[in-house]
A and B are shown apart, each in its own frame.
Chain A
Amino acid sequence: MTYSALASSQGKQAVQIVEIAVERCTRTYGTSPCLAAIGTTGSQKCFNTLSTCQYATAYNPAPLIYRFSSVRIDGLQQPGDAPTIPTLVSLKTDPTVLTPAKGLGVRASVTATIQDHPWPDQFTDPYLSTRTYDPETQGSFWGKWLRRHRFYQNRIMTIYTGFLNEDGSYDIANFKTRKYIITQISGPTISGQVTITGKDPLRLVDDDKRKWPTASQVKLATAVDAVITTVVVADTLDELSFWWNQGQRYIRLEDEIMHATAISGLGTGTVTLTVTRASMPTFYDFAQNVAAAHAVDVTAQWCWTYDDVMIYDILYDFLSTIVGIDTAFLPYSEWKAEIDANFSYLHFSCMLAKPAGMKTVLQELTELPILLWWHEREQVIKLKGFRFIQTLPAQLNDSDSIIAESVSVTEDVTALATESWIYFAPTWPLANMKQIQTYRVIDIAANADRESANQYGAPYVKAVASRWIPPAGASLAATLNTTNLTQYQDVRKAIAFTVDPKDDNYWVGDLVGISTKYVQDEYGAPAVRNYLITQAEEVYDNNGLKIQLVALEQFSYARLCTITPPSIAGVGSAPPIYSLASASDKVAFGYMGYTSGTFPDGAPNYVMS
């Protein structure tokens, strides 16, 4: 039976499993190449972990999985695995929160509470028979584990949520998987519990974790005047090889940015650059960049430049090359297809000439109408733009989806914007990007009707400053402003509600048609609207699993059509009848509907335009 079949069945029992991936050495204590010896490198043998290793040069890690479950599960443990320990007390997930056009949003996190217990060190101690103490009566599982695995941070934590078969047996097909990065393990507490906290992989871009470019340790080896075009630098850490091989060419000495046209000596510790003095990408104001003399030992900060690069290439470079996120989490082809098909205008230019927090930089990009988030279930980072489509059918509704007494409706007044401003074209990369005087151009889109006395009666301004849009990006800024205004010029509804697991195919980032009596049209009927799911959370209570969703109303439009001639130029035949028409036909051509307001497939009638 599949997950979806069990989720839809009556009488399902929900189960949770937490997996922690750490490492264990494949060597044997005291056997070459491990030359550790009792009495020489330590008083007792190690536990084949790095924290307890006595001969680190021979340390050879191999993956080791620990599993903790909410109930005892047979059949999950395979040879070489640790036993599946049924000590998972609770699992709390704080979901990704999408904040469209307001930045990166909130990172998904998970907290697993696990009961500590005595443990005889079977499996966990490869030299158990040589110990002089009884591990069953000395210490506890987690007390020992934390000491033996001190370097657990940034290891992968996998959560499995699903159902056992009706006979209680385990089948991986019945479980959904989510991955997080372990950030902290606390405890054991006085009640004998530990808590493991994990966050989604986008956590790795946090400012305190990753800055780019990194602070350079390359130093000027020979003083230069304001004219010389040969610059010799000491590069003892060989930083410039990576920089040069990535196609980067700009380097900064104090307040002067130079363009390197040739390089020699990479990897030797002393590198010679041929440069064009006081040179920057053309989208900056050259008046800011002045050639000057620089003394010995001045830092040569290598810069990182994107010149008219598509958003998906920038993000892939950030997240894989710079941040080091596993490329399995970065579905580049999917990003490219989505953006190329719908948002081909999303190409940007920028130079990072001093270390900048990755989170700050991504935040600036996602304050534009760009959505970037960790999809816990698909285990990938998703990228989308704002796309407005015609109103969808009521995929989630009061009859067979939304659980009674779970609906809460609010109006997202904080997002209201009758004017959208984008400051862009910064003077140069060393300017303070938080100051609006840094930017040379502003684009404004406004809806005067909304600001009139008869409507909102005042302007509501959403202003964004973007270092990513160059002077030539005026049309891009205008498009982004129009998108913002379309979405936020009206107060949108936000709905929080709960569904049964049978409807859990809707998740964060999905656009879904929702109809509920708590959002009505002017006639009192449940209004069908398009909503973007901004939060999704699996919630376990004593009685099982439910899915809590929060969705934000999106601008949508009625099913528009134009009158189509009886035959189509270039095609020569009339459009097919509705029941035989393709989806693209139904978008291109109008059809006469029933007085009920819908077609036989449930799609709404067209509106003549």
Chain B
Amino acid sequence: MSLTEGQVEKIAHLSRLGLTGAEPAEFQVELDTIVDFVDKLEPYDSSSVPPSNQVTGRTNVFRPDQTEPCPDAADLIKQSPHRDRYSVPSVRTLWKTA
């Protein structure tokens, strides 16, 4: 399949990536080439093959559900944009449809 510039802009919105200037056109060319490349998988008949999402075979790896003190909470908050608190702006256009 081929990707249009409009589709690239929609994907960018879903990815929460603001594209500017020539970026939509440039990414359209590059992503279209890569999608052509991954389309090489089409001829492989894999419909009866189970998917692999991991290789370890380990499932349901649990640990005891215990609360622990977090000694580095103050250092973690220093990594926030304001360095001393977390603040979240209002949610207005987050879910706009592209």
Q: Do A and B come from one complex?
A: no
